[in-house]
Amino acid sequence: MILDTETLGILSRAIEKLAEGFEQLPALAPAHPSAAADLERVLLEVAGRMQDNYPYMHPYYAGQMLKPPHPVARLAYSLALFINPNNHALDGGIASSAMEKEAVAEIAAMFGFPADHHLGHLTSGGTMANLEALWVASRLQPGKLIVASSQAHYTHSRITSVLGIPYAAVDADALGRMDLAHLRLLLQQGNVGTVVVTLGTTSTGSVDPLPEILALREDYNFRVHVDSAYGGYFKLVDNLDDHAARAYAMTSQVDSIVVDPHKHGLQPYGCGCVIFKDPACGALYKHDSPYTYFSSSQLHLGEISLECSRAGASAVALWATQRLLPLVPGGEFARGLSEARQAGMEFYEKLRADGRFIAPLRPELDIVVYAVRAETASRASALAREVFEEAAAQNLHLALATLPAALFRQVAVGADLDWDQENITCLRSCLMKPEHHTYMNEIWEILGCATDNCLGRSGASGSTFLRAL
The amino acid at 281: C
Same fold, 94-286+295-324 and 332-464: no
Residue 299's pLDDT is 63
Residue 61's pLDDT is 95
Residue 294's pLDDT is 38
Per-10-residue mean pLDDT of the chain, 469 residues long, equals 74 89 80 81 93 93 94 96 88 91 97 90 95 96 96 94 96 95 97 97 96 97 97 97 98 98 96 94 70 49 84 96 97 96 97 95 96 95 97 97 88 79 95 94 97 85 39
The domain locations on the chain are 94-286+295-324, 332-464
- Written as one string, the DSSP assignment of 58-88 is STTB-SSS--PPPHHHHHHHHHHHTT--BTT
User: Could you tell me whether strands 367-372 and 399-404 are parallel, antiparallel, or unpaired per DSSP bridges?
Assistant: unpaired
Q: Which CATH class is domain 94-286+295-324?
A: alpha beta
Q: Which CATH class is domain 332-464?
A: alpha beta
Residue 105's pLDDT is 96
Strands (E), 249-320: 256-259, 272-276
DSSP one-letter code for 26: P
Count the alpha carbons within 13 Å of 342 in the hemisphere toward its beta carbon: 16
Residue 217's pLDDT is 97
